[in-house]
A and B are shown apart, each in its own frame.
Chain A
C-alpha cells in the first residue's frame, strides 16, 4: 500500500510540472539559459558562473541551491533548471512506461488468448511469431528498431510517425516484451480449456466470442493484472537505457534517461544532475515491484504461507 502511495505521489508531482516551472521557478526547462542570473537570498548569482578552480577556464553550471523556488538541484550544461526538467522528464518517463506497458499487455493478452483458445493453425502462427520476436535478444531488438526508426521516423504511406514522436519508443518497447506476457497467458488458456466449465460452455452451444469474454477472460485477468506493474517497471528501465544510448526519447523532449545522459558530462563537478533522475527511477521501480508482488500475493491464496515482501 505504501508503494501505491509513493507511485501516486510521483505521478501527481510530475503532472504538476508545468505549474512548478511557470509559477514557482519561473524558468523554462527547455530553453538554454547560459546567461541567466537568479536571485537567491537577496543576492544575484549567475546560473553559469565562471570556473574558479583548476585553470579557471570555462564555466560550470551552478550547483544545487536547495532553495525550492529556484534551481533546486542546480543547472545542467545548458543552464536549465534540473529539478524542473526532472519533473517534466518524469511525465515522459511515466507516460512511456505506462502506455507501453498497457499496449504490451493488451496485445499480448489478446494474442495469448487467441492462440490458447483456438489452437492449431492460429496457435502455430502466433507461437512462431512470438518465438521469432523472443529469440531476438530484447535489447538487440529494441536497439535495432530504435536505431532505424527513431532518428528518422516511420513513413508507411498511411501511417506517419515523426522522428521525435514518443510513439516510437512506446511501440518499440511494447512490442519487444509482448512474448514475455503472451506465452504465460497462452499457457493459462491452454490449461483452462481442459477444465470442465469450459467444456460445459462449449457443449451448451455458446459462441466462441462469448466463451472468451465470459469464461476465459475472467480467469486470465488476475495473472494479467499481476504482470502490469512489473511490465511498467521493466519498460521504464528499458526506456532509460535506450535514452541513455541516445536512441530513446529525443530532444527537445526530456525523460529521466535523457537527463542522466546529460548529467554524465558533469558527473564529477555537478553530480546531482545525474544522481537525481537515477534515484527517481529506482524509487518508482521499487514501488512498482513491491506493488506487483503485493498484487500477486493478494490473488494467490497460498501466498499467506510465504509471508514476505
Chain B
C-alpha cells in the first residue's frame, strides 16, 4: 500500500511539472502572440512593456524564461498584478480560498445526499414510474448551464418575489463563518443549491447505472442464497461495490471545484472565491493573476486525482495488486 502511494504521488509531481510547463507555454510562448503585451495588460505603456520584458527574460531562451516564471511564482512569491499595480497575487489567492471551500463544502453535502438517494431510489424502483422520473430530472440537471441557473435563481429570489416569499434571501455576497454562522449559511444557501444541482444529476445517473449493473452480478445471487434481506443486499453488497466508481468521480469533481471550477457560480452570487478571482483576471486580462489561479487550480486537480487513486486502492482491494 505504501509503495503504491509513493508511486502515485511521484507521478502527481511529474504531472504538476508538466502542467506548469504547459501554462508557461500557453501564456508565454504561443506563436503569433506577443507575450509582453499579454502580461502587461491591455493598456500598458512602452516603459512597462520594457520592464516586463526584462523581468520575465522575454529575450532569453525558453527554459530560462520558464525558470524565471516559476521563480516569481513560487519562490519569491512576489508575482504581482500589472493591472492593479502592486497587488500581490499569492495573498489574494490564499484569501479567496476559504470562500471557495465554503461553497464546495455545502454543495458537496447536498449533492451527495440528493444524488446518492436519487440513484438508489431509481435503481430500487427500476422500471416503475419513479425511475424514469428521477432520471429525467437527472438529465435536466446536467443540461442547464450553471451560470444561467444562478441568474434564474437570483431572478426569482431578488426579482418580483423578493418582497413576498423571498424577502429573506440575501442578494449575493459572502459572510465569513467566524463573523456569523447563520449569515454564512444563509448567503451560501442558494449558491449551494445551484452548484449541487448539476452534480446531483450526474451522480444520480451514474449510481443508478452502476447499481443496476451490480445487482445482476453473481455475488448478489450468492448473497440472496445466503438468506440475506434484499435491503441488506442492496446497501451492503451492491451499493458498496457501486461506490467505487462514485468515489473516483467524486474525488476528481471536488478537486476540480476546489481549484476554482465553480467560478461561474461564484461570479453570479458575488462570492469572492478563487473562481471569482480567476474571472476578474480574465476580465482585465491580468495575466499574472490568471497564471497564479491556473497553477493553483491545476495543483488541486492533480492532488485530488492522486488522493482518489490512493483511496480507490484502499476501498477496492483488488486494485492494490494491479498498481
The reply to whether A and B meet directly (CB within 8 Å) is yes
Interface residues of A (CB under 8 A from B): 131-132, 135-140, 143-145, 147-149, 151-157, 233, 237, 240-241, 244-247, 257, 260, 264, 267-268, 271, 274-275, 278, 281-282, 284-286, 288-290, 293, 305-309
B residues near A260, Cβ cutoff 8 Å: 145, 147-148, 151
B residues near A257, Cβ cutoff 8 Å: 145
Q: Say how far A172's CB is from chain B's closest CB, in angstroms.
A: 11
A residues near B264, Cβ cutoff 8 Å: 241, 244-245
Contacting residues of chain B (123-162) with chain A, CB-CB under 8 angstroms: 126-127, 131-132, 135-136, 139-140, 142-149, 151-152, 154-155, 158-159
Among B24-32, B69-77, B96-104, B230-238, the stretch in contact with A: B24-32
Q: Is the CB of B261 within 8 A of A135?
A: no
**Nearest residue in B to A234 (C-beta to C-beta)?**
B142
- B229: interface (CB < 8 Å): no
CA distance A56 to B27 in the complex (A): 47
Q: Say how far A74's CB is from chain B's closest CB, in angstroms.
A: 15
B residues near A278, Cβ cutoff 8 Å: 144-145, 148-149, 151-152
- B308: interface (CB < 8 Å): no
Among B86-94, B218-226, B239-247, B276-284, the stretch in contact with A: B276-284
Q: How many residues of chain B get a CB closer than 8 Å to chain A's CBs?
A: 57
B residues near A306, Cβ cutoff 8 Å: 126, 209, 212
Q: Is the CB of B151 within 8 A of A267?
A: yes
A-B contact pairs, 29 of them (CB 8 A): A132-B15, A135-B18, A136-B301, A137-B297, A137-B301, A140-B259, A140-B260, A140-B298, A143-B278, A144-B290, A145-B26, A147-B282, A147-B285, A157-B31, A244-B145, A244-B147, A244-B264, A245-B279, A245-B282, A246-B282, A247-B282, A268-B159, A271-B155, A274-B148, A278-B144, A278-B145, A282-B144, A289-B139, A305-B216
Selected from B126, B127, B143, the residue in CB contact (under 8 A) with A285 is B143
Q: Is the CB of B132 within 8 A of A309?
A: yes
Q: Is the CB of B256 within 8 A of A271?
A: no
Known: A136-B298, A148-B26, A275-B152. Contact between A282 and B261, CB under 8 A? no
Q: Is the CB of B143 within 8 A of A135?
A: no
**Nearest residue in B to A133 (C-beta to C-beta)?**
B22
Which one of B23, B31, B147, B261 has the highest number of Cβ atoms from chain A below 10 Å of its Cβ? B147
CA distance A303 to B313 in the complex (A): 30
CA distance A151 to B216 in the complex (A): 53
Known: A267-B151, A286-B140, A290-B139. Contact between A137 and B298, CB under 8 A? yes
Q: Say how far B269's CB is from chain A's closest CB, in angstroms.
A: 13
Known: A148-B30, A241-B147. Contact between A140 and B142, CB under 8 A? no
- B122: interface (CB < 8 Å): yes
Known: A148-B27, A154-B32, A267-B155. Contact between A139 and B261, CB under 8 A? yes
- B33: interface (CB < 8 Å): yes
- B302: interface (CB < 8 Å): yes
- B112: interface (CB < 8 Å): no
11 additional contacts (CB under 8 A) given A233-B143, A307-B127: A137-B301, A138-B256, A148-B30, A244-B264, A246-B282, A275-B155, A282-B140, A290-B139, A305-B216, A308-B127, A308-B131
Interface flags for B249-275 (1: CB within 8 Å of A; 0: not) read 000000010011101100000000000
CA distance A245 to B263 in the complex (A): 10
Q: Is the CB of B159 within 8 A of A144?
A: no
Selected from B122, B142, B305, the residue in CB contact (under 8 A) with A289 is B142
Q: Is the CB of A308 within 8 A of B298?
A: no
Known: A237-B145, A241-B145, A245-B279. Contact between A149 and B30, CB under 8 A? yes
Q: Is the CB of A267 within 8 A of B294?
A: no
Selected from A246, A286, A308, the residue in CB contact (under 8 A) with B143 is A286
Q: Is the CB of B145 within 8 A of A309?
A: no
Q: Is the CB of B31 within 8 A of A137?
A: no
Q: Is the CB of B23 within 8 A of A309?
A: no
Q: Is the CB of A147 within 8 A of B126?
A: no
CA distance A209 to B312 in the complex (A): 38
- B320: interface (CB < 8 Å): no
Q: Say how far B275's CB is from chain A's closest CB, in angstroms.
A: 9
A residues near B209, Cβ cutoff 8 Å: 306
Q: Is the CB of A148 within 8 A of B154?
A: no
Q: Is the CB of B145 within 8 A of A281?
A: yes
CA distance A260 to B140 in the complex (A): 19
Q: Is the CB of A144 within 8 A of B18?
A: no
A residues near B216, Cβ cutoff 8 Å: 305
A residues near B145, Cβ cutoff 8 Å: 237, 240-241, 244, 257, 260, 278, 281-282
- B114: interface (CB < 8 Å): no
CA distance A169 to B158 in the complex (A): 34
Q: Is the CB of B155 within 8 A of A140?
A: no
Q: Is the CB of A268 within 8 A of B158?
A: yes
Q: Is the CB of B136 within 8 A of A309?
A: yes
A residues near B122, Cβ cutoff 8 Å: 308
CA distance A180 to B158 in the complex (A): 39
